[in-house]
Amino acid sequence: MPLRCIIVEDQPPAQRILQTYIADMGTLDLRGTLSDPVEAMDFLREETIDLMFLDIQLPKLSGIELLQALSHPPQVILTTAYADYALQGYELNVVDYLLKPFSFQRFVKAVQKAIPPAGAGGMAEVVPRSLFIKSGYEHIRVHLSDILFLHADADYTEIHVPGKKHLSSDTLRTWEARLPEPSFFRIHKSYIVQLDQVEKVAGNQLYLHNGTSLPIGRAYKEAFMARIAGGAE
């Protein structure tokens, strides 16, 4: 069952990042986004919430003060642009502390800490099933299983799926941090490949199931060959 979560954050850009990250995971159910900590307290009295993403710098009450005021708080992941509050946050027994800006991969690691072990009747490891690509003024959902490879093109990244490609305004480095490590691997300064799509490797080229060939960079080859050798069945 997905974890019921809320966002308590007063900055719209930070709200959108969290909303996108939450949507990218199949194990979180976003029940609300609130910018006012007093409204958040009222919301928590009325709704059963498993996890709260809580900013520290808020109007009226700080995130720390809000947390201290709750008699039975949900699990909490603090988010802030300042590292000074980390110790205070951990003294309040928060799940994790995300220092802005944080990557999707770091976000996933924080959420993992809030999920009960699978053997204890909880859920297994979180692996996102899809991601949203910001393309111009649109956000396009792409299923991870459909991605063949990613290619850096100047300040943009091409996300190749069967029959088409999407152009993302995020850099390849940003995508490398966002994609789940077991499935995707950097093979070149300009390429990330989905390992399940690889048919064979010959010299410094790899070939996908659809016949596409991609170069393997010299600096990446040793790690790539070790990865596919370790993952071979």
On whether both 15 and 111 belong to a single domain, the answer is: yes
On whether both 32 and 109 belong to a single domain, the answer is: yes
Residue 101: asked if its preceding bond is cis (omega within 30°), the reply is: yes
| pLDDT recorded at residue 201 | 95
On whether both 116 and 169 belong to a single domain, the answer is: no
On whether both 30 and 68 belong to a single domain, the answer is: yes
Structural domain of 90: 3-120
Where does the pLDDT of residue 233 fall: very low under 50, low under 70, confident under 90, or very high at 90 and above? very low
On whether both 115 and 8 belong to a single domain, the answer is: yes
On whether both 31 and 115 belong to a single domain, the answer is: yes
On whether both 7 and 113 belong to a single domain, the answer is: yes
Which parts of 135-203 fold into alpha helices (H)? 172-178
On whether both 68 and 160 belong to a single domain, the answer is: no
On whether both 115 and 45 belong to a single domain, the answer is: yes
On whether both 103 and 202 belong to a single domain, the answer is: no
Give the CATH number for residue 79.
3.40.50.2300
- Count the Cβ atoms, other than its own, within 10 Å of residue 111: 23
134 found inside a domain: no
131 found inside a domain: no
Give the tens place of pLDDT for each residue, 50-64.
999 999 999 888 898
Q: For residue 28, is pLDDT > 60? A: yes
Which parts of the chain fold into alpha helices (H)? 12-23, 37-46, 63-69, 86-91, 104-112, 172-178, 218-231
| Count of structural domains, the chain | 2
Give the tens place of pLDDT for each residue, 73-122.
899 999 988 777 666 656 678 889 898 888 888 898 899 888 765 444 44
